[in-house]
């Protein structure tokens, strides 16, 4: 705002004009109505931004908007607030003359009953469990702290929602319910509406505080483990027949499935971690045994190919270089098998070897 415009602001009560300025009076009511609406919707009205907003939306001259605001403050319909303290219109004008860009808030004059205010502040302190040491004698300061926490919860829940929608991930129901509650509570964000909304929704907020803490802990610290649990259980089902042969391991796997399917599994993470390690170790032994057997089977098949190829050499009589080339290729494939650590990779090596063997046979027959 320009200093020249600030200098033109008239302080003191509005002068009586015996009914000849109805239009300015109506404009002043309109400005105050806009302040109240913005305060309810956003919980905050900043002087310079508000003046610019009315200029842009309604082409209100800045001096007129400022004058109506200062007259309304003089009549105690609204208050100015700078650096967390309420100040008079005179003090506000002096501050703006020194620093036109100073952050000045406008707040309304409506307060909740003191008994309700004290009840909500006590509730809030208990909810914070001593983390917030402010005494909150002022309703506006309290409502800003309350609004900040509620919006943090809303942001956190919205960030977790996309993951929680996936299969086997917990908390989607609670996240949805709490976001709906927050939408209602935050409909109006002025101090009066917000404090009163929290007073009438204390049970919901208490449950929300507990769930937000638990769900936040899960999705910030434990979600990687949960991803591993989902992936591991899928892998375990490949060896379910073998796992069933050991009762302790099978029971552990069943319990892991129960935890994974639970709508509220947060208290079972430690148990799940212990059981997962137990089943993983057993499953690793099963996989190792099956892999070893698969390796031996693949080696036997390649040995048969080598024998058949040698027999065919006696019939087709290829030159020595070709014999060595074919045998070297098959024997190299055979040597790969013991170092191939998964059944899928073993099958790939064997398949490639069989194709190569078939090509050798065709080439020998063509001679």
Q: Using one digit for the tens of pLDDT, what is the confidence trace for 145-186?
A: 899 999 999 999 999 999 999 999 999 999 999 999 999 999
Among 87, 108, 129, the domain-final residue is 108
Do 136 and 207 reside in the same domain of the chain?
Answer: yes
Among 245, 271, 286, the domain-final residue is 286
* Residue owning tokens 């024998």: 307
State both tokens at 264.
Answer: 């509220």
Do 96 and 131 reside in the same domain of the chain?
Answer: no
Measured in residues, the chain has a length of 367
State both tokens at 350.
Answer: 């064997």
Torsion of CA 334, 340, 346, 349, to 10 degrees: -50
Do 150 and 189 reside in the same domain of the chain?
Answer: yes
DSSP lists the bridge partners of residue 210 as none
Residues of the chain scoring pLDDT < 50: 16-20
Quote the CA–CA distance of 250 and 275 in Å, as a whole number.
11
> How many Cα atoms within 13 Å fall on the side-chain side of residue 237?
8
Do 250 and 297 reside in the same domain of the chain?
Answer: no
Do 136 and 184 reside in the same domain of the chain?
Answer: yes
Quote the CA–CA distance of 94 and 244 in Å, as a whole number.
82
Quote the CA–CA distance of 211 and 225 in Å, as a whole number.
20
Backbone conformation region of residue 343, classed left if phi is above 0, alpha if psi is from -120 to 50, else beta? alpha
Among 108, 124, 140, the domain-final residue is 108
The whole domain housing 254 covers: 222-286
Q: What is the pLDDT at residue 132?
A: 58
Do 302 and 269 reside in the same domain of the chain?
Answer: no
Q: What is the pLDDT at residue 130?
A: 58
**Residue 225 Cα distances to 218, 222, 228, 232, 276, angstroms:** 10, 5, 5, 10, 10
Query: Using an 8 Å Cβ cutoff, are 246 and 269 in contact?
Result: no
Q: What is the pLDDT at residue 155?
A: 97
Q: What is the pLDDT at residue 265?
A: 96
- Residues contacting residue 197 through CB under 8 Å, at least 6 positions apart: 184, 185, 186, 187, 188
| pLDDT tens-digit series, residues 207-244 | 999 999 999 999 999 999 999 999 999 999 999 999 99
Provide the angle, in degrees to the nearest 10, between the axes of the packed helices 139-164 and 202-217: 50
Q: What is the pLDDT at residue 77?
A: 81
Do 313 and 259 reside in the same domain of the chain?
Answer: no
Quote the CA–CA distance of 87 and 239 in Å, as a whole number.
74
Q: What is the pLDDT at residue 364?
A: 85
Domain count, the chain: 4
Which helix (DSSP H) or strand (DSSP E) does residue 85 occupy? Answer: strand 85-87
State both tokens at 141.
Answer: 């300061």
Q: What is the pLDDT at residue 85?
A: 84
Q: What is the pLDDT at residue 174?
A: 97
Whether the model clears a pTM of 0.75, i.e. scores above it, the answer is no
Do 38 and 81 reside in the same domain of the chain?
Answer: yes
- Residues contacting residue 264 through CB under 8 Å, at least 6 positions apart: 170
Q: What is the pLDDT at residue 41?
A: 85
């Amino acid at each position: 705002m320009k200093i020249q415009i600030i200098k033109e602001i008239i302080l003191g009560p509005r002068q009586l004009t015996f009914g000849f300025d109805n239009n300015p009076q109506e404009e002043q009511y309109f400005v105050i109505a806009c302040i109240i609406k913005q305060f309810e919707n956003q919980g905050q009205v900043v002087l310079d931004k508000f003046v610019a907003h009315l200029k842009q939306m309604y082409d209100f001259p800045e001096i007129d908007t400022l004058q109506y605001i200062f007259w309304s403050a003089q009549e105690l319909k609204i208050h100015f607030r700078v650096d967390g303290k309420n100040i008079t219109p005179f003090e506000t004008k002096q501050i703006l003359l020194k620093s036109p860009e100073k952050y000045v808030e406008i707040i309304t004059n409506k307060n909740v009953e003191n008994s309700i205010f004290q009840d909500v502040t006590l509730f809030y302190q208990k909810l914070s469990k001593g983390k917030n040491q402010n005494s909150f004698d002022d309703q506006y300061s309290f409502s800003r702290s309350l609004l900040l926490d509620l919006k943090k919860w809303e942001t956190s829940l919205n960030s977790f929602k996309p993951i929680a929608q996936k299969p086997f991930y917990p908390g989607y129901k609670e996240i949805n319910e709490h976001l709906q509650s927050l939408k209602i509570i935050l409909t109006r964000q002025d101090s009066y509406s917000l404090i009163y909304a929290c007073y009438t929704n204390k049970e919901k907020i208490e449950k929300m505080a507990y769930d937000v803490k638990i769900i936040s802990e899960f999705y910030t610290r434990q979600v990687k483990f949960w991803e591993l649990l989902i992936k591991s259980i899928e892998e375990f089902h490949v060896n379910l027949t073998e796992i069933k042969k050991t009762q302790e391991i099978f029971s552990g796997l069943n319990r892991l499935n129960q935890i994974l399917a639970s709508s509220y599994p947060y208290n079972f993470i430690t148990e799940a971690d212990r059981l997962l390690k137990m089943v993983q170790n057993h499953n690793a032994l099963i996989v190792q045994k099956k892999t070893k057997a698969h390796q031996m089977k693949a080696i036997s098949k390649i040995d048969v190919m080598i024998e058949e190829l040698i027999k065919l050499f006696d019939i087709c009589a290829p030159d020595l270089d070709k014999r060595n080339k074919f045998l070297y290729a098959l024997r190299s494939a055979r040597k790969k098998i013991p170092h191939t650590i998964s059944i899928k990779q073993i099958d790939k090596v064997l398949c490639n070897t069989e194709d190569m063997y078939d090509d050798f046979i065709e080439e020998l027959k063509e001679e």
